[in-house]
Amino acid sequence: AGKFFYHSALRWFPTYGLRTIDAVIITHSHADAIGGLDDLRDWTNNVQPFIPIHVAKRDFEVMKMTHYYLIDTSVVVPGAAVSALQFNVIDEEPFIVHDLKVTPLPVWHGQGYRSLG
């Protein structure tokens, strides 16, 4: 599809009539699930002003360390571009993204690690 999210989106979103990203739901804070947040930078700098991110409190706390510059953009060097993300802390209760009800599904994801999807 493409090396980076932005390039893949430019190719595939028109095929399916997609124009915006309604939300990103973080299921867990392992690198395979949150490593691509930086790839949203081109999207928020060129297509839409920000993207809502829904994340469990436990994982948000991890992201405060691993992706601190996305959460507290005041630490970013002036002129540097970072993804414009709007973080929403969720729990195991259903929540709404536009008109879609999302119900987190707690599952074990490794020994002693419970994720929301």
Ordered domains of the chain (ranges, CATH): 5-115 (3.60.15.10)
For position 61, what pLDDT does the model report? 96
Q: Digits of tens for pLDDT over the chain (117 positions)?
A: 455 677 788 888 899 999 899 999 999 998 888 888 888 888 898 889 999 999 999 999 999 999 999 999 999 998 888 889 999 999 999 999 999 999 999 999 888 888 998
In the block, which residue shows the tokens 């953009």?
73
For position 43, what pLDDT does the model report? 87
Residue 58: count of CB within 10 angstroms of its CB? 16
Helix residue ranges per DSSP H, the chain: 5-16, 31-34, 41-46, 57-66, 68-71
Q: Whole-structure pTM over 0.85, yes or no? A: yes
For position 27, what pLDDT does the model report? 92
DSSP 75-87: GSPTT-----EEE
